[in-house]
């Protein structure tokens, strides 16, 4: 599918407006964490494949948190796609998209948000058939100003900026017409995840989801 047209996952992503980018070291915390995010209004959750626990966390969330739409991030090679799908990932995200990964991504049966940072990369991915791209690392590559500049020449291409998105720039990103959603880790600070500070996670998530909904209506 690569990305497909309007799938349920892409609709859920746009409806939430924000994808928490979670790096988790203990799979035992995954279900409680995902439940907290769902309850606080951000049900589309990316688990980065940066830890040993990531695939098991995806597996448990997919099986035990029916309200969550769990995906895998930090997809770097085709084998990561296989492993993530097997664990139950419903969408896939990459930080960048070398040709071999792009080819495998086009075959994936779930939405794939391929990472890019420049107009040339975006144009290459759009030609391959991807309509929504991850813009990474967003802050380092120009932030909202870059996405604003992309809008006219790269009409028809949508971007999910990730990397440096924070409460103080969230509104600027979400107001851009070529941004269906942003990704970010600020509401799932690894320290809070590790210490089990779900109250803090819930509070930050609720603030973010409330703001996103207000901006979108
Ligand atoms: O792991 C990946 O696949 C990435 O591309 C990196 C993440 O998207 C960023 O680390 C999130 O950015 P922050 O919100 O600034 O923490």
CATH number at residue 88: 3.20.20.70
Domain that holds residue 91: 6-208
Mean pLDDT by 10 residues, the chain (217 residues): 62 96 96 98 98 98 97 98 98 98 97 98 98 98 98 98 97 97 97 94 98 89
Bridge partner residues of 112 (DSSP): 92
| Residue of 127, 73, 137, 69 lying closest to 102 (CA atoms) | 127
Cα(40)–Cα(17) distance, rounded to whole angstroms? 13
Shortest-distance Cα residue to atom 7 of ligand 1: 163
Please confirm, yes or no, whether 52 is among the known catalytic residues: no
Q: Is residue 119 part of a domain?
A: yes
pTM comes to: 0.95
Q: Is residue 197 part of a domain?
A: yes
184 lines ligand 1 (CB under 6 A): yes
48 CA: nearest ligand 1 atom:
1
Phi, then psi, of 165 in degrees rounded to 5? -75, 135
Q: Is residue 165 part of a domain?
A: yes
pLDDT for res 4: 43
pLDDT for res 211: 95
pLDDT for res 120: 98
Catalytic residue among 121, 134, 148, 191: 134
Q: How far does residue 156's CA lie from ligand 1's centre (Å)?
A: 24
Q: Is residue 130 part of a domain?
A: yes
Q: Is residue 203 part of a domain?
A: yes
Q: Is residue 148 part of a domain?
A: yes
Ligand 1, residues 23, 46, 48: which to mutate, most atoms within 8 A of Cβ? 48
pLDDT for res 217: 76
Shortest-distance Cα residue to atom 9 of ligand 1: 163
Instruction: Name the domain count of the chain.
Output: 1
51 lines ligand 1 (CB under 6 A): no
pLDDT for res 7: 72
Q: Is residue 121 part of a domain?
A: yes
136 CA: nearest ligand 1 atom:
5
184 CA: nearest ligand 1 atom:
14
Please confirm, yes or no, whether 46 is among the known catalytic residues: yes
147 lines ligand 1 (CB under 6 A): no
Q: Is residue 215 part of a domain?
A: no
The answer to whether the CB of 134 falls within 8 A of the CB of 94 is: yes
Mean pLDDT of the chain: 95
pLDDT for res 5: 37
Q: How far does residue 138's CA lie from ligand 1's centre (Å)?
A: 10
């Amino acid at each position: 599918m690569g990305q497909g047209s309007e799938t349920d996952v892409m609709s859920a992503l746009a409806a939430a407006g924000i994808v928490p980018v979670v790096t988790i070291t203990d799979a035992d915390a995954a279900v409680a964490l995902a439940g907290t995010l769902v309850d606080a209004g951000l049900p589309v959750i990316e688990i980065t494949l940066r830890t040993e626990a990531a695939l098991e966390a995806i597996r448990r969330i997919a099986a035990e948190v029916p309200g969550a739409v769990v995906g895998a991030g930090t997809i770097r090679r085709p084998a990561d796609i296989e492993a993530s799908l097997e664990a139950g990932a419903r969408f896939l995200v990459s930080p960048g998209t070398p040709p071999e990964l792009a080819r495998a991504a086009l075959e994936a049966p779930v939405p794939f948000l391929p990472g890019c940072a420049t107009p040339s990369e975006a144009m290459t991915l759009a030609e391959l058939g991807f309509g929504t791209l991850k813009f990474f690392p967003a802050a380092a590559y120009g932030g909202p100003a870059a996405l604003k500049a992309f809008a006219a020449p790269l009409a028809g291409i949508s971007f999910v900026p990730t990397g440096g998105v924070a409460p103080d720039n969230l509104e600027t990103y979400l107001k851009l017409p070529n941004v269906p959603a942003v990704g970010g880790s600020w509401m799932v600070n690894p320290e809070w995840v590790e210490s089990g500070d779900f109250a803090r996670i819930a509070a930050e998530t609720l603030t973010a989801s409330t703001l996103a909904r207000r901006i979108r209506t």
